Structure 1
Amino acid sequence: MEKEPSQNEERTPVDKQSYQELIGSLLHLSTFSRPDISCNVNMLSQFNQDPRKQHWNLALSVLKYLKGTINSKILYSRTGKPISAYSDSNWAEDINDRKSQSGIVFVMAGGPIDWESRKQSIITTSSAEAEYVTLTSAAKKAKYFKLLLVELGILSEEQPIEFIH
């Protein structure tokens, strides 16, 4: 039977270069094709300068998740639905600096066309304030997408971008 690692074992430093290479590869995936791992990879990337065994193990669990979902794909098809913007945040998730995490996904033609997961730049004092910060960022992006898609002739000026929270 495998023993549980002690707290000291979990805090053991790991090879910095190997950790950074793994996180860099995961960041590439999360940026270009796997929005489902964005939040986790974003949080793990904070430890690039001083990675510990617990961070390495968490990064390996992301790899395990990817292996289990290797056949997952983003499929686009005509749905006739408006562009949808989904947003969410957590409040003061990071115990080190008490900053919140924002997540935004824009969906068009049945698949994501843009996504982001990032730590908020300010310390919010409530979950409502954290949500407002995320919604503000989503509204800015929605304005940009609307202007771009109208100019490309994909949307008309009257077509809305639906916000789902």
Structure 2
Amino acid sequence: MDKVVFLREGREAASFKLPSGNSLNKIIVDEPSGRVVIGIQTDNATFVLKMCDLKTGKAADIDMSILLCRLAEDFPEAAPDDYVGHSVVQCGALKLEDGKVMGTAVKSGTVGDLRYDLTVPFSINIAQPWPEAGRKAVMTLEESSMERTPDPDPVGKTPRMQ
């Protein structure tokens, strides 16, 4: 495990463990609140979000359970004989707007002869009350959208018998 440390005014302000193989790829700092939201692309084809309070030195997970449920529910299911390509969940660009960290989660994968890209916009109120011990910070989801395109890479698919 690697340790991620955020420094402010020359001292350690917040830190958390980052499993080896994962990488920080999105960092949003809100100076007025003294908080940071971090997107971490994991090594198992998904991402996690953390929030750090630079004033208190605390770090908290952001509850992504509603996002993961939405991605699972809205992504098309495959029939047992359909080829299902590897699906990947990524965090789109994060930005700070009106006290909220705005971002998108994208789940991409192949079902049958089509490639699906499911996009779910989300927001995190960066000034929300700090989660109590054992709890996670809250995210809000917007309406999802789906894009379907012919699979550009049908390699490995078995031709279907007619």
Which one has a larger percent strand, Structure 1 or Structure 2?
A: 2
The answer to whether the superposition gives a TM-score over 0.5 is no
Which one has a larger percent helix, Structure 1 or Structure 2?
A: 1
> TM-score, length-normalised on structure 2?
0.30
